[in-house]
Structure 1
Amino acid sequence: MLLRKSSSADVPSSEITPQHAYERFRLDRRSFLGGAAALGAAAIAGSRLKSILDPETEAHAAAELQTVPGKYTTSETQTPFNKATNYNNFYEFGVEKDQPAKNAHTLQTRPWTIQVTGMVKKPLTIDIDTLLKYRPIENRVYRHRCVEAWSMVIPWDGYSLSELINFCQPLPGAKYVQFLSDLNRKQMPELPSGFDWPYSEGLRMDEAMNPLTLLTFGCYGQVLPNQNGAPVRVIVPWKYGFKSGKSIVKLHFTNKEPHTLWNDMAPNEYGFYSNVNPHVDHPRWSQAHERRIDTSFIPRTIPTQMFNGYSGQVASMYAGMDLKKNY
């Protein structure tokens, strides 16, 4: 199944799945697993990537992914692979930007299962490789904005999270989905104290159902390097990066706003919504500009766009809200 590739990141709001779509669209368990089997051979190639030039990422070279073009993409200059995989926030493997690439080799990504719990008709535990085979993997080049005022442009590989949500059939009262990350102290020797582990994040249901929200298995055409959130994460491109949970082991559907790690720790700095908004400063720095990490030797400083440039796809979800209060 090939998807039309657009030269622009702007997609008409008419193409956005309505919030209530998940209530009408239902898949049964047999079709889910049947589709997985049918697509198994095409979903992931057995070949290995050639050695990566950067020594810090060579150990993380992994299987290539077969992808189809995604229509939700941007033509902006991409951040080089060695920068995107050596400058990371993944506190479970160290709080400095270079530590995840050095330390995350201890993470074991097979076997790996994801639980779906809470207010759904079909709670389940599913293997990561079944998820990989369920739908064709799309390549989507997204802007990625960090709350620390730096940004990248990364080609992510996955499919809309709504595919999995539709299968699990949330109950009508489910308003939020919470993401819980892996917590294995033996595999995370650099795990810092003072945090309420495991890492947790959450989205409102319409945010999770927006087709931009990506269930992500890879980047740059290969499976996710450990330091980038292997083996599965979410990408929510109009929100600050910490909303995009890594190494996910559970999705929990609830009727109450779920607790999230950073919002619990510092609610005055990290709001639940965390939409990219150049008009709402972090208490310790401005969000009006960002350092774009790309092919330039010295990062460029560019103006920050509302919703990270995805206003056309997501702004309608926040109509009538005070985006300074609901930051």
Structure 2
Amino acid sequence: MPARIRPTGFDHPRTSEITSRAVYAQRRDLLRLLAGGAAGAALAAWAGREALAAQALAGTRSAVPGAVTMEKPTAYKDATTYNNFYEFGTDKADPARNAHTLKTRPWTVEVEGLVNKPRRFDIDELLKLSPMEERIYRLRCVEGWSMVIPWVGYSLAELIKRVEPQGSAKYVEFVTLADKATMPYVGSRVLDWPYTEGLRMDEALHPLTLLTFGMYGEVLPHQNGAPVRIVVPWKYGFKSAKSIVKIRFVEKEPGTAWNKAARQEYGFYSNVNPDVDHPRWSQATERRIGEDGLFAKKRKTLLFNGYEAQVGQLYAGMDLKKFY
């Protein structure tokens, strides 16, 4: 089974506690049975690669200020079955149903553009590039729901400094996989494919911006952006590009998927700001997934998703209603 993250004082839930014990055991037994059948060789190879990837995820709790909240993590089942990943469907349950077709090995990430050392990284190289950390981040969706997820990875800055951006590089663009053979909704009219996202250079270099390979101490499930994604905790969730295949360093602000689809609704910055309503709903409150009981109260939305102390200085002097 995947290696667990070493405990560091926080009562981190075990996989067998997050998933029901019956389902947990059934999954393990199914893998063992299949490995001994007709598909044994292929499955064994797959399981070996997954095990090696999981070993690389063993890490320690991050010491970066703001990287750990003591709020209760969302249940693993909820975090892996209620997702936005439009390449696999627009319903929240679609990614968990459809993302099994995604092939995460072999996988490479091309780094190009205004850098002195452009190169192509194999996913296993990226896994070993820097020590892994666990970071428990709030995730706020523009649709009004939120989660708390223990992510595993390291600061994107660790990758950036190795490729040596040139002085003219002002933005970082992320290009995600768009494979019609394994992603059934690529080609739909809802978005311009491939899905792209972008950050200003100082945002990308901020220590809270996480290059992410796992969650809950395990490799990323397909529906959550396997094998590599970013997590930018002070921005709405759609800014955190999933299944990344290319990272470009550019001089001008890149076009991003939702900004191109509906500019009046989704700005480039997309910082969590309760004072800027979406044109079709308020952003003042949020619904925490897992707290959906009849009498559960909505939570007040926090500016920058509660990370104002860490990132507010990045936007000093900016009109946060204009640059939404």
TM-score bucket of the superposed structures, by smaller chain: 0.7 to 0.9
Shift of 1:213: 0.1
Is 1:148 aligned to residue 140 of structure 2? Answer: no
Shift of 1:193: 1.3
Superposition pairs of residues 4-153 of structure 1, within 5 angstroms: 52-53=19-20, 63=51, 64=54, 65-71=57-63, 72-153=67-148
Q: CA–CA distance in 2 between the matches of 1:295 and 1:279?
A: 24
Q: Name the SS for the 2:128 alignment partner.
A: helix
Letter paired with 1:294: G
Give the aligned CA root-mean-square deviation in angstroms.
Answer: 2.5
Shift of 1:314: 0.4
In structure 2, the residue matched to 1:231 is: 227
Letter paired with 1:147: V
Whether contact under 8 Å (1:80, 1:295) holds in the other structure is: no
Q: CA–CA distance in 1 between the matches of 2:271 and 2:187?
A: 27
Whether contact under 8 Å (1:232, 1:248) holds in the other structure is: yes
Q: CA–CA distance in 1 between the matches of 2:223 and 2:293?
A: 23
In structure 2, the residue matched to 1:46 is: none
TM-score normalised to structure 1 length = 0.82
Letter paired with 1:68: T
Give 1:197's match in structure 2, choosing from 193, 196, 204.
193
Shift of 1:272: 0.1
Q: CA–CA distance in 1 between the matches of 2:187 and 2:287?
A: 27
Whether contact under 8 Å (1:291, 1:302) holds in the other structure is: yes
Letter paired with 2:61: P
Aligned structure 1 segments of 4 or more residues deviating by more than 4 angstroms:
49-52, 54-63, 295-300
Shift of 1:134: 1.4
Give 1:316's match in structure 2, choosing from 313, 317, 320.
313
Whether contact under 8 Å (2:180, 2:187) holds in the other structure is: no
Deviations 1:100-128 (A, max 9, x none): 00000000000000000000000000101
Shift of 1:67: 1.7
In structure 2, the residue matched to 1:307 is: 304
Q: CA–CA distance in 1 between the matches of 2:267 and 2:74?
A: 27
Letter paired with 1:189: P
Q: Name the SS for the 1:317 alignment partner.
A: helix
Give 1:184's match in structure 2, choosing from 166, 172, 179.
179
Letter paired with 2:133: E
In structure 2, the residue matched to 1:208 is: 204
Q: Name the SS for the 1:155 alignment partner.
A: strand
Q: CA–CA distance in 1 between the matches of 2:124 and 2:293?
A: 38
Q: CA–CA distance in 1 between the matches of 2:222 and 2:149?
A: 16
Whether contact under 8 Å (2:83, 2:95) holds in the other structure is: yes
Structure 1: state its 5+ residue gaps.
Answer: 8-48
Letter paired with 2:305: N
Q: Name the SS for the 2:105 alignment partner.
A: coil
Superposition pairs of residues 170-181 of structure 1, within 5 angstroms: 170-181=165-176
Give 1:293's match in structure 2, choosing from 286, 289, 293.
289
In structure 1, the residue matched to 2:216 is: 220
Is 1:263 aligned to residue 259 of structure 2? Answer: yes
Q: CA–CA distance in 1 between the matches of 2:236 and 2:158?
A: 23
Structure 2: state its 5+ residue gaps.
Answer: 32-46
Shift of 1:190: 3.1
Q: Name the SS for the 1:202 alignment partner.
A: strand
Letter paired with 1:249: V
Shift of 1:294: 3.3
Aligned residues: 284
Whether contact under 8 Å (1:140, 1:155) holds in the other structure is: yes
Q: CA–CA distance in 1 between the matches of 2:203 and 2:290?
A: 28
Letter paired with 2:235: K
In structure 2, the residue matched to 1:245 is: 241
